[in-house]
Amino acid sequence: MHKAATWTDEKLRQRIDTFIVGEDANDLVKRLLVVDPTERWSATAVLNHPYFTGIKDTSALTDAMEELVQNQAKVLSSLSELHEGEILRHETQEKSVTEINTAFLNLQNEVVSGLLEAFEVSVPTSFVVLPYQSLDDVNPAKFISFLANLWNTGKKLQTAKGSGVCAIVSHLSAGDPLYLYLIDEETGKVVLPSADDTIYPIAISTRDDHSFLLMNLPFIQSTFKSLKKAAAAGRLLQRLHVLPSSTSAKEKKPEIANNDWIKAVERAIIDQSEPTASFEVLHEALDEPVAFVQGAALRELKQWFAKNDPTSSFAGLKRVISNQGRVVWTADARFLAEEATIQLTLERIREKFNQNEP
């Protein structure tokens, strides 16, 4: 007893490890046999020890698990941030690719359009379609109704698909013929045919010329967009030969001031929204590439002129190249004289080259 009283806690633990092999018993004895009495377990703690309950102390394991869960949450958060960053990078890359492709397609369309204008357009493309054959036959109500139908047709085409587009165009003018007038691109005036001209204005059958009307609807609407400024200027539509210079018109009530119906037509043109028919709209309706649709429209126009103006008289308009290199259809004497002068200059330059050849 005297010797045991001299043992320290470390000496006690060594002897317990030597003589008590069981893990639970070993741990319980170590907690009871300590030098300091205040450090010894109480009877309640002893009875709750796994040696008696058979239940292991998992507090350390629980702490480890909680730490593992916390670490796992941090890892998942990092992975989530990494994933979101990757998604953003992919979306940015995809957006950049889309923008590049769009820019390329736009450039391609512009190049194709330019080539079509330079090589395919052997017929005038500046014209206006009106619901009357002569300026003496202007019916203001009919004109305003035609303009509204023209824009509504474009709106309907925006939601149309396939073969249904022809049926939409067939209702453009309630079955009444329309008339195509050419425009002098130098003066901006509608070309009024001479008395002996049996071709112009060319009648367009809204019952039979569905393909022509459909494919050239963007051209037809764009003309009226250009006429907006003229209509806003007042009386300019008359100087451009879109409306008669006099104020006589069919179905005009005598009590109405002579220029009231002119103002009504001008207001109808001014009030129109942006064109509702474009080659992009036709592209969606016909499910064909935009550039090909525009090319098809120009070929349709060319074939239509060949059928209706077989001698290519074009109401006296001539295809010339301006000093700026722009193709212009005009009958303006001054412009034609400039074209003749340019041609003579070109011939003189060619002669100089021929003279310098050995």
Query: Where are the chain's structural domains?
Result: 4-57, 125-315, 317-350
Q: Is the pLDDT of residue 249 over 60?
A: no
Instruction: Please give the average per-residue pLDDT across 127-151, as a whole number.
Output: 84
pLDDT at 116: 46
Assess whether pLDDT exceeds 70 at residue 304: yes
Q: For 190, which DSSP code?
A: B
Cβ–Cβ under 8 Å, residues 312 and 187: no
Instruction: Quote the pLDDT of residue 29.
Output: 74
For residue 323, pLDDT beyond 70: no
Lowest mean pLDDT among 66-80, 112-126, 211-225, 304-318: 112-126
Q: Is the pLDDT of residue 358 over 80?
A: no
Q: What average pLDDT does this structure show over 51-79? A: 70
9: helix, strand or coil: helix
For residue 26, CA distances in Å to 12, 14, 32 come to 11, 11, 10
**56, pLDDT greater than 60:** yes
Amino acid 321: pLDDT:
73
Phi, psi of 211 (to 5 degrees): -65, -45
Beta pairing, strands 318-321 & 327-330: antiparallel
Question: How far, in whole angstroms, is CA 347 from its chain's centroid?
Answer: 47
pLDDT for res 162: 63
pLDDT of residue 308: 92
The predicted structure's pLDDT at residue 3: 62
pLDDT of residue 335: 64
Mean pLDDT calculated for residue range 319-329: 75
**Looking at the predicted structure, is the pLDDT value of residue 47 above 60?**
yes
* Of 358 and 72, the one with more pLDDT: 72
Q: Which residue has the higher pLDDT, 42 or 342?
A: 42
* 230 close to 109: Cβ distance less than 8 angstroms: no
- Coil/strand/helix, residue 200: coil
118 vs 132: which has the higher pLDDT: 132
pLDDT attached to residue 49? 72
Q: Specify the pLDDT at position 285.
A: 76
Average pLDDT value for residue range 149-159: 81
Residue 2 has pLDDT above 70, yes or no: no
On the 0-12 / 13-18 / 19+ scale of CB atoms within 10 A, 116 is middle
Rounded CA separation 12/3 (Å): 12
Return the pLDDT at 309.
93
**What value does the mean pLDDT of the chain take?**
73
pLDDT tens digits, 182-193: 988 888 888 888
Q: Is the pLDDT of residue 149 over 50?
A: yes
Confidence tier at 307 by pLDDT (50, 70, 90) = very high
Distance CA 143, CA 136 (A): 13
Asked if 169 and 293 touch (Cβ cutoff 8 Å), the reply is no
